[in-house]
Amino acid sequence: MASQPPNGPNGQSLDRSNLIRFSSRLKEGRALALDVWTIFSAVNLPADCINLGQGYMNFAPPKWVTEAAEVALHDVAPNHYSHPRGRIRLREAIKSFYGPQFNRELDVESEILVTSGANEGQYSVFTAFLEHGDEVIMFEPFFDQYLPSVTFNGGKPVYVPLHPPKDSVKKPTSDDWTIDVEELRRAISPRTKMIIVNTPHNPVGKVFTKSELESIATIAEEFNLLVMADEVYDCLVFDGKEHVRIANLPGMWDRTVTVGSAGKAFAATGWRIGWLIAPKSIIQPTLAASTRIVFCTNSPLQEAAASGLEQAKERKFFEIQRAEYEERRKILCDVFDELGLKYTLPEGSYFILLDISRVDFPEDYPFPESVLGRGRDFRACWFIATEVGVSSIPVSEFYCEEHANIGEAYARFAFCKDVDTLRAAAKRFQQLKRYIA
Ligand SMILES: Cc1ncc(COP(=O)(O)O)c(C=O)c1O
């Protein structure tokens, strides 16, 4: 017979539902909050809702890449532990593919680290470099994972806004979201350790210009900051715009870690393969952290990612993929134009910010508890998903509480979906007409 749990001193039965207190670090960085991905996940929305919310593709990776995964699975070595730095084939492929873009011969032993997605790579950098109370500057809106990844490692996020396009701009592009360099300078304190620069940017689509990056570089040099260049969308830059790597600016290599993702490059977000490129002084401590966090990244899919990078140039893969994304982007832009709704034309990444201030919905609509008490954008996105049948993500989630009102004017639509899905969404958007004030 199972033994009975002990009772309290007076024989009363004890509440055993919460015996072990969890770490206080979970109380920071919104780690326990009901996150936007859960609220707007497909299971909570009408069954036939078209999902333009979360940023993952509804198409498979290229066949020649998945074939390489199959080959690896049928081999022996790639079914076992890899070196914590990553499999040598992938490190060699990263060296060949990216070396010329960094104008240097990358050292596969000390300047490249394969990680479990960009996300774990970034987490490992925070673990390796942050002391308790160190400040990390991030531009708002920001990729939401940064926040708990920083606070779990004792860091303190400091927010600097990307200023939205002025009302007078009739057809804004992501270039109309601007930084104020003086504002950035004012955000620096003696505790500032790091700055995250995400270009092309999620969710704005902004591709930082050389002159913006030069201003950031000047500040990084002046205050001795570590720069995390989150460039996971580097292969998705449109309209002939140049993707400038901050690591290539004078003096910046020594203080910059550049983050990449096979998930974004090869439509394989579930593979969890990413990489860091940086000098030895940054990779070495990060490797020490990463080795303790995951030890190594899954091996067969490293082989597949290597095969992707090895063949990409000859197959003109990234050129073709870019053109496909431009076509996808156009489908949404065309319908928003037709409806007369303002949006930010993204010059990179795969998100469009739609200005939803003119979308009029009844305040007494039967909204679930999860969106009540949040920004207006949560209600607007919920309303659009249920009435029009297309889901999106409310942008206030990408802001700190203090500045959430800036994000409330926007919904983020992901266009990493096949053209049929986007055309079906465009058709549904016609129903939005009657809700535009
Ligand atoms: C800006 C940015 N950085 C990093 C990541 C994480 O990439 P991965 O899936 O490789 O971890 C994402 C994913 O959405 C992202 O948007």
Please, is 255 exposed, middle or buried when counting C-beta atoms within 10 Å of its C-beta (0-12, 13-18, 19+)?
buried
Ligand 1, closest atom to CA 262? 10
Helix axes 280-293, 117-129, angle to 10 degrees: 110
Ligand 1 centroid, distance to 119 Cα (angstroms): 6
Q: To test the ligand 1 pocket, which listed residue (232, 272, 294, 351) has its Cβ within 8 A of the most ligand atoms?
A: 232
- 153 CA from centroid of ligand 1 (Å): 19
- 3-state secondary structure labels for all residues of 81-141: CCCCCCCHHHHHHHHHHHHHHHCCCCCCCCCEEEECHHHHHHHHHHHHHCCCCCEEEEEEC
Q: What atom in ligand 1 is closest to the CA of residue 261? A: 10
263 lines ligand 1 (CB under 6 A): yes
Ligand 1 mean position, distance from CA 120 (Å):
10
The pLDDT value recorded for residue 308 is 98
Ligand 1 contact, 55 CB (< 6 A): yes
Q: In the chain, which residues have pLDDT < 70?
A: 1-4
Task: Give distance in angstroms: CA of 289 to centre of ligand 1.
Answer: 19
Q: What is the pLDDT of residue 3?
A: 66
119 lines ligand 1 (CB under 6 A): yes
Q: Is 230 in the pocket of ligand 1 (CB under 6 A)?
A: yes
Cα of 274 vs centre of ligand 1, distance in Å, is 9
Q: How far is the CA of 266 from the centre of ligand 1 (A)?
A: 13
- Cα(293) to centroid of ligand 1, in Å? 18
Q: How many residues does the chain have?
A: 437
| 360, 435 Cβ separation under 8 angstroms | yes
pLDDT at res. 222: 98
In order of their start, the domains of the chain are 25-60+317-435 (3.90.1150.10), 63-312 (3.40.640.10)
Q: Whose CA is nearest to atom 16 of ligand 1?
A: 202
Residue 347: its pLDDT value, please? 98
Instruction: Report the pLDDT value the prediction gives residue 10, as an integer from 0 to 100.
Output: 80
Digit-coded pLDDT (tens) for 121-145: 999 999 999 999 999 999 999 999 9
- Residue whose CB lies within 8 A of the most ligand 1 atoms, among 37, 94, 119, 416, for a mutation test: 119
pLDDT value of position 2 = 57
Q: How far is the CA of 233 from the centre of ligand 1 (A)?
A: 8
Does the beta carbon of 198 sit less than 6 angstroms from any atom of ligand 1?
yes
205 lines ligand 1 (CB under 6 A): no
As a whole number of angstroms, the distance between CA 65 and CA 77 comes to 18
Q: CB of 349 closer than 6 A to ligand 1? A: no
pLDDT at 34: 84
